[in-house]
């Protein structure tokens, strides 16, 4: 009897009563725009990206397995002074996307592994010759956002990415 009363109450409850907190309407739009932008960058890398390889130690630190000689990628790259930025898509598995930012003056790098939806999977930093460091989630997200925004802005401006 209790079962039927509970079931009846659930069926008669107003819609949305049992739903959890809703994300703001703009958040869903932002997320879908970001995912569409990343998809467009993946397509662009496939069309005009240069063939490149991520070094084996980077591949290992990012948790992408063991790849003798490095991971083959299609790469969009831009240089601004001593700073080199690249958007990399694995040729083996297009869900493995890596953004890196390298400063030749300081020999420091930031690398971000992301999903095709533009969500951060892993963030690392290192200085040439030193150990790599995984960033805590909050710090990784803080550093990742401007990197992804940079590439999405490049996409919107239709700037060619080349070495």
CA 118 to CA 10: how far, in whole Å? 37
121 occurs within a structural domain: yes
Number of structural domains (the chain) is 1
Q: What is the pLDDT of residues 43-95, one digit of tens each?
A: 999 999 999 999 888 888 898 987 788 999 999 999 999 999 999 999 999 89
Contact 58, 88 (CB under 8 A): no
Q: What is the pLDDT of residues 112-123, one digit of tens each?
A: 999 999 999 999
12 occurs within a structural domain: no
CA 86 to CA 58: how far, in whole Å? 14
9 occurs within a structural domain: no
Residue 123's domain spans which residues? Answer: 33-157
pLDDT band of residue 129 (cuts 50, 70, 90) is: confident
Contact 140, 121 (CB under 8 A): no
CA 132 to CA 109: how far, in whole Å? 9
Q: Is the pLDDT confidence value at 40 over 70?
A: yes
Q: What is the pLDDT of residues 1-35, one digit of tens each?
A: 433 333 333 334 444 433 434 445 555 678 888 99
Contact 73, 100 (CB under 8 A): no
144 occurs within a structural domain: yes
CA 67 to CA 6: how far, in whole Å? 56
């Amino acid at each position: 009897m209790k079962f039927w009363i509970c079931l009846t109450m659930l069926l008669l409850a107003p819609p949305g009563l049992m739903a959890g907190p809703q994300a703001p309407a703009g958040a869903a739009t932002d997320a879908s725009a970001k995912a569409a932008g990343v998809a467009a960058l993946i397509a662009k890398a496939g069309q005009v990206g240069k063939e490149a390889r991520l070094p084996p130690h980077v591949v290992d630190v990012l948790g992408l397995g063991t790849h003798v000689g490095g991971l083959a990628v299609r790469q969009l790259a831009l240089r601004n002074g001593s700073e080199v930025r690249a958007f990399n898509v694995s040729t083996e598995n297009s869900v493995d996307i890596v953004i890196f930012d390298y400063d030749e003056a300081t020999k420091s790098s930031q690398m971000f592994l992301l999903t095709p939806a533009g969500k951060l999977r892993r963030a690392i930093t290192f200085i040439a010759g030193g150990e790599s460091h995984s960033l805590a989630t909050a710090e990784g997200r803080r550093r990742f956002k401007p990197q992804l925004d940079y590439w999405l802005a490049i996409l919107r401006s239709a700037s060619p990415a080349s070495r």
